[in-house]
């Protein structure tokens, strides 16, 4: 009876469950469990005599589960029944697994006893010892015979574990960095063994963290019992009781290779019992640990040592030239697994093979062409669930930027607003970048800044990425024919263009994102790429003169243009007039270029909403205008200017861009004045003038900005007073004014009229100016910003 009902449920899950999108992830796991248990159920039916009353409850649950599956397609996630149905299905899954596990263990024990009984005469006759096979053993495996670069991490982890208190430690890094080798070394370290004695337990976890199995293994190793549990909560309660009974004996539990998705079960296991220590290794940087250690790539010396050892090269006596070895070391980017892969694949090979590998790395060939093991190891980090698929897309987008360079957060915000319809303020982008950082797929660096409700200021924030992870992003993006990819990344060395784009019968590409990187030897000889669907174009270059590709004017669907010069000095940008035909272009970001006039006929950017200029020469950008700025840029809503050192006076013509909502000018140390007509920007909501050290005053016409919500004059050293009519800014909610060292004569009397002002961030001296106004401005909070003794904001990045 049990077997028949199980088979019906199994078939239902296969045929119906896969079509129910709302429960897709659950049914995928449910089907996986049932596939594994099917042969077990068959064996139980054949060999075990299970009484009817023992299986009656489970049969009833399976029949109910079958009915629930058929109605799943009619349930929405917002429906109250969603959680009830999900809970019932999960209970059925767990009940089946638990039943099969108990009876299969009973069957196995019976089989083993029967075999031992049959073999008894032979054993006595041969006088051989009976070997105990302990499937629940948690002993720490032996560490590798050879390791390099792990001494410092070992010392730091030891220092933490030897402290006289319980610890929850996390060791995190991408796959292949040596996390498992390190914890094995730790488990066999004499000082650690001296503290924990025989109470060091090692449990490999991988994809599924099964709390009941882990607790059962601990019970087996601590008190030689193997209890059964009704649920995860029951297992944790029993473990807590056991640890309490043990008392003062310190315990170290090592959970190796915990995958993302196990956060909640892992949290349950982190119980606070004296002397119970947990050390977790994972590719994911889980929160909630008392100490987190990020394992770093190997330095050049250690990387060379590992490569030589893996290739069986004798110390110092190798016939392979040092310069060749160094190129392969650089191609491996300090990644231990990559170094071992390169070493093993070149072991015993002639010097020509080493030269060939080094040359290919120098020419941009991927290491993944030589190792499926390395590729599979890293690809496991990209196994996101269906609702997290956006994270993988964002990860692959990071490959669009030049190697070994910081990726500006603002550039990603602009890209993702169009590609994935994320919010333009950047909150969604930061969330995704934080998740990639948690997964050790990137590193989000957010520079400390003043807290406030209006936080979307990311000028100083950036993302970095390990070279091999960038290579993985590009590799994943390059799957399939060039013309069919959603993301096309071209890395051009010299003038060697890809063969597909030089063919006469070239077909249009379907990519939404096109990235083209060229080096200093590129001669700007472009092929005619047909890219009618491209929405985001990223151009990276290093040449002294750079021309926009001729094919740009045919990109009718282009919405975001990002141009970045990775050379040392600004480069003149030519062919700017090609943008005139791009009727859908909404965002332009330019970095380290000299900009021609933006308002010179016939360059009319009528759809442009946002322009960002970083480290650019913009002295001519708004000069020699043959058309009104309001006609050339009629829909411009945001101007972002950062580190543009030739900006001395903000052009008065910008005051005619009346739809402007955000004007952000930061780190422009030569800026001395704003136009008197700035009050004409009646729609302006955000005005940031952060770290403009030569700016001496704000125009009195600023009082007309009735929609202004935020005014930021932080670190404007030259400002001596606020406008006398500042009180007319009737919608001002935040005022940032830390570091205004020349402002010493207090605030104008009209300040009492700032009834909407909720937050002022300033330094300690300026905070005193606000004391008299607090009685009137009852909702006002004055925060004293932390002192930035490094003054890094004064330095050019």
Q: Can you give the three-state secondary structure of 411-434, one letter per residue? A: HHHHHHHHHCCCCCCCHHHHHHHH
DSSP structural state of residue 723? -
CA angle 790–793–795, rounded 5-degree value: 90
Task: Point out the least confidently predicted range of 106-120, 350-364, 681-695, 767-781.
Answer: 106-120
Question: Does residue 132 carry a pLDDT above 50?
Answer: no
Q: What is the 3-state secondary structure (H, E, C) of 448-502?
A: CCCCCCCCCCCCCCEEECCHHHHHHHHHHHCCCCHHHCCEEEEEECCCCCCHHHC
Is 168 within 8 Å of 290 (Cβ atoms)? yes
Q: Residue 768: its pLDDT value, please?
A: 92
Higher pLDDT, 452 or 117: 452
pLDDT band of residue 560 (cuts 50, 70, 90) is very high
Residue range 493-500: average pLDDT?
78
* Distances from the Cα of 439 to the Cα of 183, 200, 278, 378, 405, angstroms: 20, 27, 20, 11, 20
Q: Which residues are CB-contacts of 170 (< 8 A; sequence separation ≥ 6)?
A: 279, 280, 281, 282, 285, 286, 289, 291, 292, 293
Q: Residue 73: its pLDDT value, please?
A: 61
Residue count of the chain: 797
Is 368 within 8 Å of 475 (Cβ atoms)? yes
Q: Residue 602: its pLDDT value, please?
A: 60
CA-CA distance, 233 to 212, in Å (whole number)? 9
pLDDT band of residue 730 (cuts 50, 70, 90) is very high
Higher pLDDT, 148 or 596: 148
Is 552 within 8 Å of 578 (Cβ atoms)? yes
Question: Does residue 532 carry a pLDDT above 50?
Answer: yes
Q: Residue 644: its pLDDT value, please?
A: 92
Task: Point out the least confidently predicted range of 264-273, 313-322, 462-471.
Answer: 313-322
Strand-pairing partners, residue 546, are: 573
Q: Residue 30: its pLDDT value, please?
A: 67
**Residue 564: which region, alpha, beta or left (left: phi > 0; alpha: psi -120 to 50)?**
beta
CA-CA distance, 616 to 613, in Å (whole number)? 6
Looking at every residue in the chain, the average pLDDT score rounds to 82
CA-CA distance, 761 to 258, in Å (whole number)? 42
Is 546 within 8 Å of 522 (Cβ atoms)? no
Question: Does residue 232 carry a pLDDT above 90?
Answer: no
Q: Which one of 328-332, 726-730, 781-785 scores highest in mean pLDDT? A: 726-730
Question: Does residue 135 carry a pLDDT above 50?
Answer: no
Question: Does residue 655 carry a pLDDT above 80?
Answer: yes
| Domain range annotation of the chain | 2-111, 151-294, 300-375, 384-468
Q: Which one of 127-136, 203-212, 436-445 scores highest in mean pLDDT? A: 436-445
Higher pLDDT, 67 or 608: 608
CA-CA distance, 328 to 325, in Å (whole number)? 5
- CATH of segment(s) 384-468: 1.10.10.10
Is 536 within 8 Å of 397 (Cβ atoms)? no
pLDDT band of residue 449 (cuts 50, 70, 90) is low
Q: Residue 296: its pLDDT value, please?
A: 92
pLDDT band of residue 16 (cuts 50, 70, 90) is low
Q: Residue 791: its pLDDT value, please?
A: 46
Q: Give the fold, CATH level 3, of 151-294.
A: Rossmann fold (3.40.50)
Tally Cβ neighbours within 10 Å of residue 711. Answer: 23
Q: Is 89 exposed, middle or buried (0-12, 13-18, 19+ CB in 10 A)?
A: buried
Q: Residue 785: its pLDDT value, please?
A: 84
CA-CA distance, 508 to 106, in Å (whole number)? 64
- In this structure, which long-range contacts are made by residues 661-665, counting pairs with CB atoms below 8 Å and at least 24 apart in sequence? 661/637, 661/685, 661/686, 662/637, 662/638, 662/686, 662/688, 663/638, 663/639, 663/687, 663/688, 664/457, 664/459, 664/638, 664/639, 664/640, 664/688, 664/690, 665/639, 665/641, 665/689, 665/690, 665/692
Torsion of CA 219, 220, 222, 225, to 10 degrees: 80
Tally Cβ neighbours within 10 Å of residue 657. Answer: 22
Phi, psi of 290, deg, nearest 5: -70, -20
Strands (E), 678-774: 686-688, 710-712, 734-736, 759-762
Task: Point out the least confidently predicted range of 84-98, 169-183, 503-517, 627-641.
Answer: 84-98
CA-CA distance, 94 to 33, in Å (whole number)? 10
Question: Does residue 454 carry a pLDDT above 60?
Answer: no
Task: Point out the least confidently predicted range of 360-369, 392-401, 578-587, 759-768.
Answer: 360-369
Task: Point out the least confidently predicted range of 35-49, 392-406, 775-789.
Answer: 35-49
Taking Cα atoms as reference points, which of 657, 658, 723 lies closest to residue 689?
723
**Residues 579-592: tens digit of each pLDDT:** 888 899 999 999 99
Q: What is the 3-state secondary structure (H, E, C) of 2-44?
A: HHHHHHHHHHHHHHCHHHCHHHHHHHHHHHHHHHHHHHHHHHH
Question: Does residue 697 carry a pLDDT above 80?
Answer: yes
Task: Point out the least confidently predicted range of 139-143, 508-512, 579-583, 597-601.
Answer: 597-601
Q: Is the dihedral of CA 494, 500, 503, 505 positive or negative?
A: negative
Task: Point out the least confidently predicted range of 59-63, 186-190, 459-463, 480-484.
Answer: 59-63
Q: What is the 3-state secondary structure (H, E, C) of 674-702?
A: CCHHHHHCCCCCEEECCCCCCCCCCCHHH
Taking Cα atoms as reference points, which of 7, 30, 34 lies closest to residue 18?
30
Question: Does residue 318 carry a pLDDT above 90?
Answer: no
Task: Point out the least confidently predicted range of 2-16, 237-251, 296-310, 408-422.
Answer: 2-16
Q: Residue 24: its pLDDT value, please?
A: 60
Question: Does residue 67 carry a pLDDT above 80?
Answer: no
pTM for this predicted structure: 0.74
DSSP structural state of residue 533? T
Is 696 within 8 Å of 741 (Cβ atoms)? no
Q: Do domains 151-294 and 384-468 have the same CATH topology?
A: no
Q: Which one of 24-28, 215-219, 504-508, 722-726 scores highest in mean pLDDT? A: 722-726
CA angle 725–731–737, rounded 5-degree value: 65
pLDDT band of residue 732 (cuts 50, 70, 90) is very high
Residue range 411-419: average pLDDT?
94
pLDDT > 90 in the chain, percent:
38
Torsion of CA 351, 357, 358, 362, to 10 degrees: 160
CA-CA distance, 382 to 439, in Å (whole number)? 9
Residue range 748-764: average pLDDT?
93
Q: Residue 98: its pLDDT value, please?
A: 63
C-alpha distance across the termini of the chain, in Å: 73
**Residues 609-644: tens digit of each pLDDT:** 999 999 998 877 776 666 777 788 889 999 999 999
Residue range 268-289: average pLDDT?
89
pLDDT band of residue 131 (cuts 50, 70, 90) is very low
């Amino acid at each position: 009876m049990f077997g028949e009902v199980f088979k019906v449920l199994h078939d239902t899950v296969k045929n119906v469950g896969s079509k129910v999108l709302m429960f897709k992830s659950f049914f995928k796991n449910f089907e996986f469990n049932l596939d594994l248990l099917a042969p077990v159920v068959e064996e139980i039916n054949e060999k075990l005599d299970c009484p009817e009353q023992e299986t009656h409850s489970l049969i009833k649950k399976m029949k109910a589960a079958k009915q629930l599956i058929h109605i799943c397609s009619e349930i929405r996630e917002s429906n109250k029944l969603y959680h009830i149905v999900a809970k019932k299905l999960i209970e059925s899954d767990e009940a089946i697994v638990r039943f099969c596990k108990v009876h299969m263990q009973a069957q196995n024990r019976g089989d083993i006893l029967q075999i031992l009984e049959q073999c008894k005469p032979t054993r006595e006759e041969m006088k051989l010892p009976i070997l105990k096979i302990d499937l629940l053993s948690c002993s720490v495996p032996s560490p590798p015979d050879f390791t390099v670069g792990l001494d410092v991490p070992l010392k730091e982890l030891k220092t933490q574990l030897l402290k006289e208190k319980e610890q929850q430690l996390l060791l995190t890094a991408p796959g292949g960095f040596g996390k498992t080798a390190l914890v094995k070394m730790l488990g066999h370290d004499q000082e650690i063994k001296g503290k924990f004695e025989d109470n060091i337990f090692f449990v490999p976890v991988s994809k599924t963290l099964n709390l009941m199995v882990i607790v059962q293994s601990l019970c087996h190793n601590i008190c030689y019992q193997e209890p059964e549990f009704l649920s995860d909560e029951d297992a944790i309660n029993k473990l807590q009781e056991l640890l309490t009974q043990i008392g003062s004996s310190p315990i170290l539990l090592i959970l190796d290779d915990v995958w993302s998705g196990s956060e909640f079960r892992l949290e349950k296991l982190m119980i606070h019992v004296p002397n119970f220590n947990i050390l977790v290794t994972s590719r994911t940087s889980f929160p909630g640990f008392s100490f987190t250690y990020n394992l770093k790539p190997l330095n050049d010396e250690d990387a060379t040592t590992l490569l030589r050892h893996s290739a069986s090269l004798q110390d110092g006596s190798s016939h392979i030239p040092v310069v060749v070895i160094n190129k392969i070391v650089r191609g491996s980017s300090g990644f231990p697994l990559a170094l071992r892969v390169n070493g093993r694949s070149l072991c015993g090979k002639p010097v020509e093979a080493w030269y060939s590998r080094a040359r290919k790395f120098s020419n941009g060939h991927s290491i993944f062409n030589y190792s499926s093991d390395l590729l599979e190891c890293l690809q496991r980090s990209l196994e996101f669930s269906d609702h997290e698929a956006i994270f993988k897309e964002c990860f692959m987008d990071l490959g669009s930027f030049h190697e070994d360079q910081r990726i500006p957060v603002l550039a990603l915000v602009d890209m993702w607003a169009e590609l994935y319809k994320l919010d333009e303020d950047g909150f969604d982008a930061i969330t995704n970048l934080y998740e990639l950082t948690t997964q050790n797929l990137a590193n989000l660096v957010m520079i400390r800044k003043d807290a406030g409700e209006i936080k979307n200021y990311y000028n100083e924030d950036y993302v970095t990425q390990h070279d091999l992870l960038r290579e993985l992003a590009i590799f994943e993006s390059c799957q399939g024919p060039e013309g069919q990819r959603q993301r096309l990344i071209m890395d051009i060395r010299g003038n060697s263009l890809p063969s597909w784009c030089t063919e006469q019968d070239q077909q249009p590409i379907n990519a939404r994102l096109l990235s083209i990187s060229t080096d200093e030897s590129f001669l700007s000889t472009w092929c005619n790429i047909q890219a009618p669907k491209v929405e985001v174009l990223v151009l990276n270059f290093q040449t002294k003169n750079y021309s926009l590709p001729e094919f740009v004017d045919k990109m009718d669907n282009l919405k975001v243009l990002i141009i970045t010069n990775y050379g040392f000095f600004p480069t003149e940008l030519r062919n700017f007039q090609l943008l005139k035909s791009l009727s859908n272009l909404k965002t332009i970001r330019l970095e380290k270029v000299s900009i021609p006039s933006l308002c010179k006929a016939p360059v009319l950017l009528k759809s442009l909403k946002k322009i960002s200029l970083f480290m650019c020469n913009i002295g001519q950008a708004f000069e020699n205008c043959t058309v009104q700025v309001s006609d050339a840029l009629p829909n411009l809503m945001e101007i972002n200017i950062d580190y543009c050192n030739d900006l001395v006076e903000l052009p008065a013509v910008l005051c005619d861009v009346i739809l402007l909502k955000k004007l952000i000018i930061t780190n422009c140390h030569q800026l001395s004045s704003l136009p008197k007509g700035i009050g004409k920007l009646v729609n302006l909501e955000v005005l940031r003038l952060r770290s403009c050290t030569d700016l001496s005053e704000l125009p009195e016409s600023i009082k007309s900005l009735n929609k202004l919500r935020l005014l930021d004059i932080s670190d404007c050293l030259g400002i001596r007073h606020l406008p006398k009519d500042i009180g007319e800014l009737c919608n001002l909610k935040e005022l940032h004014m830390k570091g205004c060292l020349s402002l010493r004569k207090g605030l104008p009397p009209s300040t009492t009229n700032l009834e909407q002002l909720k937050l002022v961030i300033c330094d300690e001296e300026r905070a005193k100016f606000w004391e008299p106004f607090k009685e009137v401005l009852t909702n006002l909070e004055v925060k004293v910003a932390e002192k930035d003794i490094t003054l890094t904001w004064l330095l050019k990045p």
